């Protein structure tokens, strides 16, 4: 069951940097959609006549008690049990993979997972309200105690600081990358003196503050910020307002290879800054000297700034529909004393306007937001990628470069390559020079293809 809130330092509730919310700071769930929470005695499962016990709807709204912060592991060693139908080496157990019937575990519990014959499978975070009901942390009989959690965090930090030596070139990088670091359902970025957490699972949300405590001690950071993933209500049955530690600034300044960026925790997307494109931004600069650059879906100007400052581009134009992002991009240009044109516009409309004006660029960057959030959206996402690339290719001068990206993890690399190939103009030869992905602080777990989400194709347009 959820534990009492821990004493001592507590995050400041409410939106980042704002005053605490009334009533203890958590959002009022009584008037929101999703229906009532199933009775506690049912442990999230319900009994229907003629069907026996069936799992709950994934979007069931959890109540306040389910959102209280918890310790990393049960202090009394009393492990609730979840029964799986068959063994798996993947970290994901979906509801259909569990035995129908009441489980001993409650929402967010760290549970022992066994097979129907009683043999052990492992330990994982359980949420009966989610389609992805168990996120396995370990396999076998050894339970993940607090020492285990600390060792996972230490291994993640050592990869970034000791092995990749990222502190030499930036103070903004991913510290924990979900399943690839053995901690499914959560990502944590270091952004200067701030640790920014995005929780995708209820169990990880409930343990985020304890993880923050340990990482703060390891990294020497000063502030913490926590927000839910964008689809936790639909997928996990809960949502909560973003909040941060008591003196968390609304904005902070980070540096990447000497270029400074402001991060806005109130208006920013995801954790606040896209560290995953760091290596691609550096690589792009090699092709920009004296060139004209168009950065489509530029967000806060990452590619634009590095093309101008590191790459010495002759002129750079960044385009994004998000008014807040464009405002911050302009602020970033001023911060680095660089002259860049930033335009608030729909990327499709802007590209069509440039084509009507017969405008082309030496280098075009196309980095749209995530277009497929569920399997039902994959085909529509592929159509949008086709339309995006069809237009972007026409804006590249003969002999120029197109860097086209997809951050939709559900669209596989080979599918994205096929879409880009289909987008090529008839009669114009396209040469694929490189295929890259996220920077190494976003490692890929070879057995878990979902961890390879970012695809980047570097095309020379003859």
Pair 184, 279 in one domain: no
Q: Is residue 115 part of a domain?
A: yes
pLDDT at 6: 36
pLDDT over 50 (residue 405): yes
Q: Which pLDDT score is estimated for 449? A: 82
Measured distance between the N- and C-terminal CA atoms of the chain, rounded to whole angstroms: 63
Instruction: State the CATH number of the domain containing residue 391.
Output: 3.40.50.150
Domain boundary (88, 118, 139) is at 139
Instruction: Kindly report, residue by residue over 298-335, the tens digit of the pLDDT.
Output: 999 999 999 999 999 999 999 999 999 999 999 999 99
Q: Pairing relation of β-strands 396-406 and 361-366?
A: parallel
| Nearest Cα to Cα of residue 195 among 137, 129, 131, 273 | 273
Residues 177, 106 share a domain: no
Taking residues 434-457, report their average pLDDT.
92
CATH number of 133's domain = 2.30.130.10
What residues contact residue 117 under an 8 Å CB cut-off, 6+ apart?
none
Four-CA torsion 202, 204, 206, 208, nearest 10 degrees: -140
Domain shared by 283 and 366, yes or no: yes
Query: Is the Cβ–Cβ distance between 227 and 311 less than 8 Å?
Result: no
Task: Evaluate whether residue 339 is within a structural domain.
Answer: yes
Q: If you average pLDDT over every residue of the chain, what do you get? A: 85
pLDDT band at 102 (very low <50, low <70, confident <90, very high): low
* Helix intervals (H) in 52-145: none
- For residues 135 and 152, membership in a common domain is answered with no
Is the pLDDT at 64 greater than 80, yes or no? Answer: no
Q: What are the catalytic residues?
A: 407
Q: How confident is the model at residue 390 (pLDDT cuts 50, 70, 90)?
A: very high
Q: Does any domain span residue 132? A: yes
Whether 419 is in a domain gets the answer yes
My answer on whether 322 and 400 are in the same domain is yes
Q: Which two tokens stand for residue 195?
A: 């640790």
Tell me the residue range of the domain where 363 lies: 274-461
Q: How confident is the model at residue 31 (pLDDT cuts 50, 70, 90)?
A: very low
Return the pLDDT at 162. Answer: 97
Are 85 and 224 members of one domain?
no
* Residue 297 domain flag: yes
Residues 411-438 have pLDDT tens digits of: 999 999 999 999 987 678 999 999 999 9
Of 210, 231, 248, the one marking the end of a domain is 248
Structural domain includes residue 253: no
Domains of the chain: total: 3
The span from the CA of 281 to the CA of 342, in Å, is: 17
Percent of the chain with pLDDT over 70: 85
Who wins on pLDDT, 31 or 75?
75
Residue 389 and residue 293 share a domain: yes
Judgement on whether residues 330 and 351 belong to the same structural domain of the protein: yes
In a domain, 233, yes or no: yes
> Are 239 and 198 within one domain?
yes
CATH number at residue 220: 3.30.750.80
Q: Note whether 352 and 395 are same-domain residues.
A: yes
| Residue 281 and residue 359 in one domain | yes
Q: Which residue has the higher pLDDT, 396 or 87?
A: 396
How would you label 427-447 residue by residue, b for 16+ Cβ within 10 Å and e otherwise? eeebeeeeebbbbbbbbbbee
Answer yes or no: do 91 and 172 share one domain: no
Examine the fold and report which residue of 124, 139, 154 is the final residue of a domain before the chain moves on. 139
* Confidence bin at 60 (pLDDT 50/70/90): low
pLDDT value for 270: 65
Alpha helix ranges (H) inside 21-145: none
Tokens 């510290």 belong to 175
Answer whether residue 13 is part of any domain: no
What does the pLDDT read at residue 330?
97
């Amino acid at each position: 069951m959820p534990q009492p809130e821990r004493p001592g330092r507590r995050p400041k509730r409410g939106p980042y940097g704002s005053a605490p919310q009334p009533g203890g700071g958590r959002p009022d769930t009584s008037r929101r959609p999703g229906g009532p929470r199933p009775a506690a005695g049912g442990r999230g499962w319900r009994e229907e006549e003629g069907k026996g016990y069936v799992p709950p709807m994934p979007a069931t709204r959890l109540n306040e008690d389910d959102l209280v912060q918890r310790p990393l592991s049960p202090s009394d060693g009393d492990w609730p049990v979840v029964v799986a139908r068959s063994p798996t080496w993947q970290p994901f157990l979906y509801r259909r993979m569990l035995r129908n019937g009441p489980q001993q575990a409650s929402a967010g519990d760290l549970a022992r997972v066994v097979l129907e014959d009683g043999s052990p499978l492992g330990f994982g975070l359980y949420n009966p309200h989610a389609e992805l009901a168990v996120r396995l942390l370990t396999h076998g009989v050894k339970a993940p105690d607090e020492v285990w959690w600390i060792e996972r965090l230490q291994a993640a930090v050592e990869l970034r600081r000791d092995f990749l030596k990222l502190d030499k070139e930036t103070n903004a990088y991913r510290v924990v990358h979900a399943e690839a670091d053995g901690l499914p359902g959560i990502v944590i970025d270091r952004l200067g003196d701030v640790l920014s957490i995005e929780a995708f699972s209820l169990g990880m949300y409930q343990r985020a503050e304890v993880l923050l405590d340990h990482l703060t001690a390891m990294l020497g950071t000063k502030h913490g910020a926590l927000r839910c993933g964008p689809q936790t209500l639909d997928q996990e049955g809960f949502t909560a307002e973003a909040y941060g530690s008591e003196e968390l600034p609304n904005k902070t300044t980070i540096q990447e290879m000497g270029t400074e960026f402001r991060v806005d925790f109130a208006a920013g997307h995801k954790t606040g800054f896209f560290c995953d494109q760091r290596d691609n931004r550096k690589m792009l600069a090699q092709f920009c000297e004296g060139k004209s650059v168009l950065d489509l879906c530029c967000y806060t100007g990452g590619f634009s700034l590095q093309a101008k400052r590191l790459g010495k581009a002759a002129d750079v134009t960044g385009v994004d529909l998000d008014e807040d992002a464009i405002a911050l991009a302009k602020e970033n240009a001023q911060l680095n004393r660089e002259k860049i044109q930033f335009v608030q516009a729909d990327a499709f409309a802007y590209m069509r306007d440039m084509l009507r004006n017969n405008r082309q660029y030496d280098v075009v960057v196309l980095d749209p937001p995530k277009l497929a959030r569920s399997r039902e959206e994959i085909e529509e996402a592929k159509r949008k990628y086709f339309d995006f690339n069809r237009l972007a290719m026409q804006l590249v001068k003969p002999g120029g470069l197109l860097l086209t990206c997809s951050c939709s993890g559900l669209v596989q690399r080979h599918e994205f390559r096929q879409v880009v190939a289909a987008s090529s103009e008839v009669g114009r030869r396209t040469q694929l020079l490189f295929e890259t992905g996220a920077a190494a602080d976003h490692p890929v777990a070879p057995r878990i293809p979902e961890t390879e989400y970012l695809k980047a194709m570097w095309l020379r347009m003859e």
